[in-house]
């Protein structure tokens, strides 16, 4: 019986020790690729990227606009494997071939009360 209790205590200790590490924050990359604007947010706790792409011109329209603003407000993304949920919102301004500015917000239950923001 003492051996079984010792094994259970050792397993619980190992699990708690493994869970006590800090969660790495997300990272963000906003870029232009040809006729598209890409918003890529790396979510380390999921070991995956949340990716959103926007065409600068609708299909069938030639040319590239001088200025475009893209907004996504409060997309909620849930991962059933981990039980984590994230709220991602952003505004991206494309102007004359480049990203003029962006404001990206990432919140998630894995980060507690912390909101991560990325701006240019």
pTM (2 d.p.): 0.77
Residue located via tokens 């301004």: 93
Average pLDDT, the chain: 84
pLDDT reported for residue 73: 84
Closest CA to 31 of 70, 77, 60: 70
**pLDDT tens-place string over residues 42-100:** 999 999 999 999 999 877 787 788 999 999 987 899 999 999 999 999 999 999 999 99
Cα torsion through 27, 46, 79, 109, rounded to 10: -60
């Amino acid at each position: 019986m003492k051996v079984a209790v010792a094994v259970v205590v050792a397993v619980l200790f190992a699990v708690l020790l493994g869970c006590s590490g800090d969660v790495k924050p997300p990272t963000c990359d906003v870029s232009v690729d040809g006729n598209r604007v890409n918003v890529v947010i790396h979510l380390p706790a999921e070991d995956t990227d949340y990716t959103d792409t926007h065409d600068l011109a609708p299909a069938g329209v030639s040319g590239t606009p001088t200025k475009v603003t893209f907004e996504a407000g409060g997309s909620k993304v849930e991962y059933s494997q981990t039980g984590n949920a994230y709220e991602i919102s952003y505004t991206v301004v494309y102007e004359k071939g480049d990203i003029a500015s962006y404001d990206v917000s990432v919140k998630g239950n894995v980060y507690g009360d912390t909101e991560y923001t990325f701006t240019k």
